[in-house]
Amino acid sequence: MENLLDFFQGILSENLKDGDLAKLSSESEYYNDIQFSDSKLNEMKDLLNLKEISDMEKYNKLIKLSDVILAKNLYLDKSNIDSFDIFSGQIFPNLEVLWLSFTEISSFKGLSSYIFPNLEELWLNFNKIKSFEGLSGETFPKLEKLSLGNNQINSFKGLSRKIFPNLKLLNLNSNQMKIFEGLFPDIFPNIEKLYLTGNQITSIDEGLSGKIFPNLKELDLSFNEITSLEGLSGKTFPKLEILTLSFNKIDSLEGLSDIFSKLEKLYLSFNEITSLEGLSGEIFPNLKELNLIGNQIEPNDEYIRNIRNIFPNLKYIHKNFTIIL
């Protein structure tokens, strides 16, 4: 590479001509050696406090200027990025939130733990990602939120124990998931919210066993093809508080056996359920809200009494789009 001082002078000259100053990095000891007017130098140094980047051209100049990028939030939605290779060789030590939705990214290849060591949120909605392949090791040691809605992911294959040690929220809405294939204990040791609406899941029991989700509190499986509650186990979801199974093809409440000691909200609206057989206060001892609207059960007074007898702690019953206390 050319002399570092000459390199910075050329880049800075270009930025100053355009009035397009990017946030610079730890090589700031070189600034005072570059011959610019005091006003321009002060203006340039003020930009070191910039916290967000939203323009792709500024970003391109930024990665030319430094091996270390100091931004905390990086907005690259609707850009022409098609892979993570654009970040190769870069380090984002302070980056906490990265938006890369509505791009052309198709895989996780090119990522490493060195690039985003402190990333907490990653938004990758509306891309072309087909799998979790390409991830390995401690790629996201501090990631807490991962949103992958509207991609083409069809399984959990490719995941390992160390990739998401601190993930708390995973959004896989509107993908192509059919079964819970590729899951095993400790992949998501701290996940609390899992959203899988609008997939092609037909069964809950395939691929689920043991304590795969030891800390999961909310699970949304609405708008799938699920026909039965068989396989739904309190042992797999020991801390589950909210379960949404609306808009499926469930025709019976039977098949449950393990106790869901923490479950408080159960949403089963718009299925094909014909009776309350299978519901038990022993299985859901702390249930406080139940939604069964849009099924084939007549929501009359006897129905309400039966529900209250089964669940004495119930506070909300949904009947014909009305909540009954």
Reported as a single tens digit per residue, the pLDDT across 132-151 is 998 888 889 999 999 999 99
* Nearest CA-CA partner of 316 in 296, 294, 292: 292
Residue type, 284: F
Q: What is the mean pLDDT of residues 206-235?
A: 87
DSSP classification of residue 265: E
Q: Could you tell me the maximum CA-CA distance found in the chain, to the nearest angstrom?
A: 86
pLDDT at 168 over 90: yes
Instruction: List Cα–Cα distances, 214 to 180, 210, 222, in angstroms.
Output: 16, 9, 21
In this predicted model, which residue has the larger pLDDT, 134 or 153?
153
* Of the candidate ranges 122-126, 159-163, 203-207, the one whose mean pLDDT is the lowest: 203-207
Least confident of 53-62, 134-143, 193-202, 216-225: 53-62
Mean pLDDT value of segment 41-52: 50
- Asked if pLDDT for residue 54 goes beyond 70, the answer is no
